[in-house]
Structure 1
């Protein structure tokens, strides 16, 4: 069994806060609002850049825990973990649908019902769908990487990085994934596996500088593209997709920074299994827009001096509530399972 690393659990928790932050600014229309104050617009723009690499960090974390030594492929073991993941996705897809309908947070439709019952076929969560495929392929990918020499693995990774990050961004994206699909997921997972495989020591100061430097380049490019006459804003969008070389560099710097931290926490180990539930709860299609419009009422803070405080408290509250709900549901499920076994 792989030993938990609290420093990476801390990174996952912070990355989930970054994902919620992206939804806070993206789903509520703040970034396109015309009545946003200059200070709030600046803060929102900076936070969107700073938090954009979170998804890449999750992929890299998964790849980092690939086995170093080759293991025999167990279809039963692979299916067991994949089914457990799908069961969690399905449960929250249906649970949040029922919850939002009962609380009248969202309106009912047959399409929403079908999407809730079939979350993968209906692409309820794009990230979870990709991750489910990765879970199925994980033992095969792991066996392949173990059989490759360091040189062969380096060529394999370089090829992935070129077609995912260079050709797709600076050339014509023939894959049409924009960093949301399988190719980019595999690339970042292999990059995470490479960090463990080569184990190159990088001081946390240098790792932090890589992250900060990539952030600054993105922010400065935004300013320059606005100043250049006739320059289409699409150039900025290309730099902000998940497979942008700058976002990959940000994720690499952030991952290596947390890898260097010395953290040991039983609390982080206990809640780590519930971090994924934060995503499943707040990014549900029936919850996503309504959460920010009807519950947190983000639009009321577009011109407020308290928008930053509202953002911070909203993100913390969502993470705390979602993790608490997931842990309580798991305890209730375990209790019911034991009760059923006793009465059999």
Structure 2
């Protein structure tokens, strides 16, 4: 009997929207556009860039909530870990040699060694490394969750939010570590799954919470802009301060509200949405692969900063994000169907043969 898990199209649609949010965020912050923000000559294009560029860290939180929600009920699967590892390494090596050949970087034995053998690449400096580490320890987190009752689980989340989110947001403490924070968000997702409180199932509540959290995000951007314009100086290091990192209070509030909204949406299984959703991680690995990729995409190909003061900035932003998302998705779909599926079909057959021999 097949043990293949059926993808929920509402969650897969959520993944697609989240990845578009993240690509849009990178369109602004990785292209140099944010360095063009000038409060002495504030304009509509600047406000537009701020309004579309805030969602990257919120998107990361949403992916972590999805992981906590589903993985808290799953056993550790080494094949999933292997898929994750091979996917990361495939794109790391592919683009390392592509950009090496194109003259974007220089050959380094040390860097090549890291590309090949580095497992948790940038544990406290990248989403990929942090997520890989989270998956490695997820079984132990799940054991902890099973030992906690509802009150203890909620109190633990509250303590972690106080340490890593509230103090960082309102008291300017740099209390941010990738794995502890990812564990915090994982615990929130698990809590929503294990304790399906009426408020978590209330569609009207989730819609209202999304509206409130989005209003707070945009209001925070506007208030920081007003402060900076009035003071004549930057003041805050970014207009995205309240969502500038995954642990900022509005980044997690907005993530939880969006997750509840899409969790409660009922849509029929849709093969196209499920295929697109399966490639969202690949889109991330491709377009945010390395500094050379960022320069190649946002500076050399799409020339984002040249359009920042243009009347076509809105159109350029929309088309660029869609093109990047679509092209990256197509690349990853090809990888899945022509590399990953045949490889794991072979692995499955070898595993079956090994089991048969052990039985004999």
Q: TM-score, with normalisation over the residues of structure 1?
A: 0.86
| CA deviation map 1:205-235 (0-9, x unaligned) | 3132233233233223313432564883248
| CA deviation map 1:127-161 (0-9, x unaligned) | 11011111111111112212211111111111111
Distance 1:252 1:4, change over 3 A: same
Q: Which residue of 1 aligns with 2:353?
A: none
How far off is 1:82 after superposition? 1.9
Structure 1 position 130 matched with structure 2 position 130: yes
Matches of 1:183 and 1:236, distance apart in 2: 26
Q: Give the alignment partner of residue 243 of structure 1, picking from 244, 247, 257.
A: 247
Q: Which residue of 2 aligns with 1:220?
A: 222
Q: Which residue of 1 aligns with 2:325?
A: 319
Q: Give the alignment partner of residue 306 of structure 1, picking from 309, 312, 317.
A: 312
Q: Give the alignment partner of residue 182 of structure 1, picking from 179, 183, 196.
A: 179
Q: Which residue of 1 aligns with 2:84?
A: 85
* Alignment coverage as a number of residue pairs: 332
| CA deviation map 1:59-87 (0-9, x unaligned) | 1111111345xx7x6xxx54332222111
Distance 1:115 1:304, change over 3 A: farther
Q: CA RMSD in A?
A: 2.9
Matches of 2:267 and 2:230, distance apart in 1: 45
> Where do 1:266-285 residues align within 5 Å?
266-285=271-290
Distance 1:338 1:138, change over 3 A: closer
Distance 1:90 1:156, change over 3 A: same
How far off is 1:291 after superposition? 1.2
Structure 1 position 44 matched with structure 2 position 41: no
How far off is 1:105 after superposition? 6.1
Distance 1:114 1:299, change over 3 A: farther
Q: Which residue of 1 aligns with 2:338?
A: 332
Matches of 2:120 and 2:72, distance apart in 1: 30
Matches of 1:152 and 1:276, distance apart in 2: 33
Report the 3-state secondary structure (helix = DSSP H, G, I; strand = E; otherwise coil) of the residue aligned with 2:71: coil
Distance 1:119 1:308, change over 3 A: farther
Matches of 1:41 and 1:231, distance apart in 2: 14
How far off is 1:192 after superposition? 1.2
Distance 1:294 1:113, change over 3 A: farther
How far off is 1:279 after superposition? 0.7
Structure 1 position 260 matched with structure 2 position 264: yes
Instruction: Please say if residues 61 and 192 of structure 1, whose CA atoms lie closer than 8 Å, have aligned partners that are also in contact.
Output: yes
Q: Which residue of 1 aligns with 2:357?
A: none
Matches of 2:330 and 2:315, distance apart in 1: 22
Distance 1:131 1:44, change over 3 A: same
Matches of 1:41 and 1:172, distance apart in 2: 26
Q: Give the alignment partner of residue 16 of structure 2, picking from 10, 13, 17.
A: 13
Matches of 2:224 and 2:8, distance apart in 1: 36
Instruction: Please say if residues 114 and 122 of structure 1, whose CA atoms lie closer than 8 Å, have aligned partners that are also in contact.
Output: no
Q: Which residue of 2 aligns with 1:143?
A: 143
Matches of 1:86 and 1:51, distance apart in 2: 23
Instruction: Please say if residues 271 and 323 of structure 1, whose CA atoms lie closer than 8 Å, have aligned partners that are also in contact.
Output: yes
| CA deviation map 1:99-126 (0-9, x unaligned) | 2233x16232315434433454652971
| CA deviation map 1:264-300 (0-9, x unaligned) | 2221112322110111111111312221111112132
Instruction: Please say if residues 15 and 54 of structure 1, whose CA atoms lie closer than 8 Å, have aligned partners that are also in contact.
Output: yes
Instruction: Please say if residues 37 and 302 of structure 1, whose CA atoms lie closer than 8 Å, have aligned partners that are also in contact.
Output: no
